[in-house]
Amino acid sequence: MRPQAVAKRLLVPVGVLGSVVAAFAYVGSVDPNEPGHYPTCPLLALTGILCPGCGGLRSAHAFVHGDLLTALGANAAAVVGYVVFAVGWVAWTVASARGRAWRPNPSSAQLWTVGALLAVFSVVRNLPFGAWLAP
């Protein structure tokens, strides 16, 4: 394989990683725990109900600073999402470097399972016994 061909195939995965790193760097430097930096969740503001994403920015901020327990406490689903993204990105990058297409193809059952888990996460974190899941 020619190095130029490999580099060309890696442009998109590296570009995506650069965008994600830039977003995490911004959230890491602009503390979401300080009021006024980010907008409030519309669902939380209108209803008082935590959505699956509530606490995601605080989770990302803690994750960037290496505080995994705080990140999990702010939004455990987001931390799982970071790990899933990282694994998927590595698989995509390796496939691209080898000149192969990588397209995740989850089954309907897998998609429904992820949706159901996020729904259960959302409901439980809004109930008194699930307050430990709330940010």
The model's pTM? 0.87
Q: What is the pLDDT of residues 68-79, one digit of tens each?
A: 999 999 999 999
Query: Which residues touch 19 (CB under 8 Å, ≥6 apart)?
Result: none
Alpha carbons 33 and 71: distance in angstroms, whole number: 12
Residue 35 in this model has a pLDDT that exceeds 70: yes
pLDDT tier, 128 (very low <50, low <70, confident <90, very high otherwise): very high
Q: What pLDDT does residue 106 have? A: 94
| Residue with token string 């830039």 | 22
Residue by residue, DSSP assigns the chain as --HHHHHHHTHHHHHHHHHHHHHHHHHHHS-TTSTTSSPPPHHHHHH-PPPTTTTHHHHHHHHHTT-HHHHHHH-HHHHHHHHHHHHHHHHHHHHHHTT--------HHHHHHHHHHHHHHHHHHTSGGGGGG--
- Token pair of 42 as six digits: 């519309």
Residue 107 in this model has a pLDDT that exceeds 70: yes
Residue 3 in this model has a pLDDT that exceeds 80: no
Contact 124, 49 (CB under 8 A): no
Contact 135, 73 (CB under 8 A): yes
Q: What pLDDT does residue 1 have? A: 61
Average pLDDT, the chain: 93
Residue 112 in this model has a pLDDT that exceeds 90: yes
